[in-house]
């Protein structure tokens, strides 16, 4: 029996594997990857709370609008340079900026890329702060955080 068909089959398979990448590395398109990478913040990147303003008296639900400059908003799971998504820290401070932002009533995630939210808050004084996170909810390095806004819910 001739070895020719086997050699041809092996050659075709080799060409197909080479054409498809044949690598276990994540596919890249520009600076976008499917896997986590650097979470360095863009120079001059800022986030801020547009409304409510510091010292405002508001009613619940509180409409919070997020501002951002020098970096882009993208959904969680996006691993593109100079992007992130918002986390709203309520009545507490983030303890570890090298770990993912917790997800609970004091740490709200906006992983769909939202730039505003209506949040229910009990009457009284509350502090609000934005923290931008990368595709894995980890704050950028250096962290991109807003000033703390203190409001009173009536």
pLDDT tens-digit series, residues 68-116: 999 999 999 998 889 999 999 999 999 999 999 999 999 999 999 999 9
pLDDT tens-digit series, residues 14-59: 444 433 333 333 333 333 334 455 688 989 999 999 999 999 999 9
Asked if 52 and 58 touch (Cβ cutoff 8 Å), the reply is: yes
Three-class SS of 35-99: CCCCCECCCCCEEEEEECCCCCEECCCEEEEEEEECCEECCCCCECCCEEEEEEEECCCCCCCCC
Three-state DSSP class for 10?
helix
CATH 2.60.40.10 fits 37-153, yes or no: yes
At 20, list the tokens. Answer: 């498809």
Indicate the domain borders of the chain.
37-153
Three-state DSSP class for 145?
strand
pLDDT tens-digit series, residues 54-67: 999 999 999 999 99
Contacts of 97 (CB under 8 A, 6+ apart): 139, 141, 143
Residue 4 pLDDT: 59
Q: Mean pLDDT across the stretch 117-130? A: 98
Question: What whole-number distance in Å separates Cα of residue 153 and Cα of residue 151?
Answer: 7
């Amino acid at each position: 029996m001739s070895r020719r068909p086997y050699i041809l089959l092996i050659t075709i398979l080799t060409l197909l594997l080479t054409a498809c990448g044949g690598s276990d590395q994540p596919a890249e398109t520009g600076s976008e990857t499917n896997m986590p990478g650097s979470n360095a913040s863009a120079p001059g990147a800022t986030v801020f709370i547009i409304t409510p303003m510091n010292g405002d008296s508001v009613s619940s639900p509180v409409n919070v609008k997020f501002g951002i400059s020098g970096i882009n908003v993208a959904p969680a799971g996006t691993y593109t340079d100079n992007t992130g998504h918002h986390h709203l820290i309520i009545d507490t401070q983030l303890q570890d900026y090298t770990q993912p932002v917790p997800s609970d009533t004091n740490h709200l995630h906006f992983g769909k890329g939202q730039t505003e939210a209506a949040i229910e808050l009990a009457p009284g004084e509350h502090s609000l702060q934005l923290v931008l996170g990368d595709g894995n909810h980890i704050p950028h390095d250096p962290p991109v955080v807003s000033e703390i806004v203190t409001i009173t819910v009536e």
